[in-house]
Structure 1
Amino acid sequence: MELGSVVHFLENRTILVTGATGFLAKIFVEKILRVQPNVKKLYLLLRASDAHSASQRLHNEVISKDLFRVLREKLGANLNSLISEKVTPVAGDITCENLGVKDSNLVEEMWKEVDIVVNLAATTNFEERYDVALLLNTLGAKLVLDFAKKCTNIKMLLHISTAYVSGEREGLIVENSYYMGETLNGAHGLDIEMEIKVVGERLRELREEEATDGEIKMAMKKLGIQRARKFGWPNTYVFTKAMGEMLLGHLKENMPLVIIRPTIITSTFKEPFPGWVEGVRTIDSMIVGYGKGNMTCFLADPNSIIDVIPGDMVVNAMMVAMVAHANQAFAASDEMMIYHVGSSVANPFILICLKDYGQRYFTEHPWIGKDGKPVIVGNFTLLTSMDSFHRYMTLRYLLPLKGLELVNIASCQYFQGIYLKLRRKINHVMRMIEIYRPYLFFKGIYDDINTEKLRMVAGESGVETDVFYFDPKGINWEDYIMNTHIPGLVRYVFK
């Protein structure tokens, strides 16, 4: 593995980025424009009907974000000219041939110009419809590979997956590939073509039954969970991402392929400024629910390790991996490089600390609710078993709910309000428990020996490690959670 300057490597490169409106994609694009404005071209694939709609999405959902504040302050009016010169929004869809790009001249131009393809397009919803997740996360990965193979100057395909394709494995989880048909529970019969047929047959049955759109949606969600658990994965998201990896490894031929598997991605650690975040990720559900006064308990092992990593560190690892493996032909046709980007080995973060930091933060800095009053938070209870969880829910919510049901609440607006509030809280907590159950008592640790080697080689090669940092050992978790991550959530996520 040989490494040179990342900034120099990016100069005059033409990069295609799919999923351009996503969290990581925005950080990736902003970083390139800020550290290497002499990049040749960034083609950003956005789901849109035409070029005008794609341009609107680029400006409304990417460039206008506060993430670009540093670049905006640095360049002023010149930012618009930089964007128009270097960034080309592309209307498309990774679930279609040629990525759904209808402009044949643009397709030919991209095949001729693109050096690197970065596939960030995915649905990360644990409860996604199976037909949607299979199209985006599994077949979409194959269609991106097909497009990359047609690029005459292609140097590599960088595919972003997730560390949680490991399912509920325990112990040290190594950076190994998944092969076609491999399952986590030893079950036989995993065949991607068959999964496509299962989806098609179920959809046909539902249409014949004249099911409503809502019924079809629920049926597809249930089917995804059923198929995932049949083969050992806990949810539709990680199952379809694992199958996407299988297809890439099986079909890559001589394509240089690197797969990045981040763990739980959190707000930016340092660049372009600390604390920028979008959306609610796994641990953030607990923080947001508690801070808003909607959650007072959660089911989890207080001593379990939560593997989290800031978004800018993931992007920096992606960029250094690009330099390391561009043009690198692996020995075997199905061989690829896999990097776990996380913190559980180098700098483990314990769940009980998240509870303590959250309580301290919202006690000292309460969230101001819709009524203009601060939300007063109390003790956050971590329940360590399903039995204790059921006892807690019964005493705190279910018994009062039954009491209200014995009253003629229809005649009293006050009791109606209490009843509905209790019901919402119960539904919210139960849904969170069901979604995150596999990770609440997670016993796995993600080995990152490949990533550590990449860090070591980068340091020895004189790579700009101060600019492209991705070593979690440098994170003080208390300082980061209390002074960066939770304030970032409050500013950008709380509504």
Structure 2
Amino acid sequence: MESAGNIAEFLREKSVLVTGSTGFLAKIFVEKVLRVQPSVKKLFLLVRASDGCSVEERFQNEVIGKELFDVLREKHGKDFDSFISDKVSAVAGDISYENLGIKDYGVREQLWKEVDIVVNVAATTNFYERYDVALGINVMGAKNVLEFAKQCRKIKMLLHVSTAYVAGVQEGLITERAFHFGEALRPDLKVDIAEELELLEEKKNQIHAEKKTKEAEKEAMKELGIQRARIHGWPNTYVFTKAMGEMLLGHTRGDLPLVIIRPTIITSIYKDPLPGWMEGARTIDSIIIGYAKGNISSFLGDPQMSMDLIPGDMVVNAMIASMAAHTNQNSQFIYHVSSSVRNPVKYSTLLESGHQYFQNNPRTTSDGKPMKMTAMHVMKTMTDFKRYMFLRYRLPLEGFR
């Protein structure tokens, strides 16, 4: 692997198209590129919006306006706005549509002429998303990005962000190998993407014929996704559709260089540019928030198990390094990005550090008094959990009754 300086040099005078640019990971990627290689030629950010005005508004409020860019803002001072204007261009579009939903032919032609690298970060990460939405973004959206990249005359590679959990529920060493087209996690079945799309349309037609409410339709679409995922061996709609997206990319890429990055649970920034920066409540954060609010006092699980965490800036570093390593190589490369083996983070670390933090920085009640935080009670077996629930809750309730 090349040195950090050479990796940054690789980005000089490159034009990069980034999808999902208002999302957490894409913002870290954009900030990193602008900070380490100010001589990048152009970053084109695909933003979902109805017109140019709202695109610019979302770009300013949801990307550049974030505190994540404070280091870069301080570095350029009064020239920050002109630097951003020169280096970054927000483009109205949506990967769910052909040509990425870019309606202006002049803009499409500019991208086809200038773009060297396409980075697809756009995805719906809801585990139990509506099946039609997940298929539209994670599967057909990936295909639309690939077809657009093929039309870019200077294209050197497509980098696609997937998830390590396309592997489903497995134990042991998970290899960095590509899915065969149509491969299911259940060996007796095959995944037929065309069939899944047909099944989806049939279900939607049935729902409309039955004149179900929007809420009923939403629940039916969610249930269909979960059902199809579990039939083929995946635990939820998200990882099932991400796996299908990978299959479609690998099968139809032709000779286009393709890198697939499979991170595990992405957490806050570790080091650069803003240690601890996080946006929204992500996967593991719901447990932390529940504990901080006093809503979660016990947990069923093994404290010695690995959480498979990876900081967002480390994922971005891996993305950029793989771009530099594999540009113009007409093959497919897959990387798992995780702390699972070399530097595992156990649940016990989360419990201990969480308790320590809220002891030193207690939440306060409405009248300003500090709230007492007790250590979370962890049970390793269902028997222990049932015993705890009986003694802690059911027995006192029976007494009150």
TM-score normalized by the length of structure 1: 0.78
Deviation per CA, 1:392-411, whole angstroms, max 9, x where unpaired?
4455456667888x7xxxxx
1:282, CA displacement in angstroms? 2.3
CA contact (8 A) 1:50 1:91 kept: yes
CA distance in 1, matches of 2:371, 2:334: 44
CA distance in 2, matches of 1:376, 1:83: 46
Q: Does 1:350 align with 2:346?
A: yes
CA distance in 1, matches of 2:156, 2:357: 46
CA contact (8 A) 1:293 1:375 kept: no
Q: Does 1:375 align with 2:371?
A: yes
Q: Does 1:231 align with 2:227?
A: no
CA contact (8 A) 1:292 1:375 kept: no
What secondary structure, in the 3-state scheme, does the structure 2 residue paired with 1:151 have? coil
CA distance in 1, matches of 2:378, 2:143: 42
1:48, CA displacement in angstroms? 0.6
Compared CA separation, residues 93 and 403, structure 1 to 2 (3 A): farther
**Aligned AA (2:380):** T
CA distance in 2, matches of 1:128, 1:400: 39
CA contact (8 A) 2:135 2:241 kept: yes
Deviation per CA, 1:10-68, whole angstroms, max 9, x where unpaired?
11110000000111100111111111111111100011111111111000001110101
Deviation per CA, 1:50-93, whole angstroms, max 9, x where unpaired?
11111110000011101011111111221111111111101110
**Aligned AA (1:388):** D
| Equivalent runs, 1:68-467 vs 2, <5 Å | 68-330=69-331, 336-369=332-365, 372-397=368-393
CA distance in 2, matches of 1:374, 1:200: 55
Deviation per CA, 1:333-368, whole angstroms, max 9, x where unpaired?
xxx100111111111122122112111211221123
What secondary structure, in the 3-state scheme, does the structure 2 residue paired with 1:309 have? strand
Number of aligned residue pairs = 400
CA contact (8 A) 1:15 1:118 kept: yes
Identical residues among aligned pairs (%): 59
Compared CA separation, residues 198 and 101, structure 1 to 2 (3 A): same
CA distance in 1, matches of 2:386, 2:99: 51
What secondary structure, in the 3-state scheme, does the structure 2 residue paired with 1:339 have? strand
CA contact (8 A) 1:291 1:375 kept: no
**Aligned AA (2:281):** V
CA distance in 1, matches of 2:101, 2:77: 34
CA distance in 2, matches of 1:184, 1:370: 51
CA distance in 2, matches of 1:359, 1:320: 36
Compared CA separation, residues 201 and 387, structure 1 to 2 (3 A): farther
1:110, CA displacement in angstroms? 0.3
Compared CA separation, residues 363 and 325, structure 1 to 2 (3 A): same
CA contact (8 A) 1:157 1:257 kept: yes
Flag structure 1 segments of 5+ consecutive residues without an equivalent.
331-335, 407-495
Flag structure 2 segments of 5+ consecutive residues without an equivalent.
none
CA distance in 1, matches of 2:298, 2:333: 41
**Aligned AA (1:305):** S
**Aligned AA (2:384):** S
Instruction: Tell me the C-alpha RMSD between the 2 structures.
Output: 1.8
TM-score normalized by the length of structure 2: 0.95
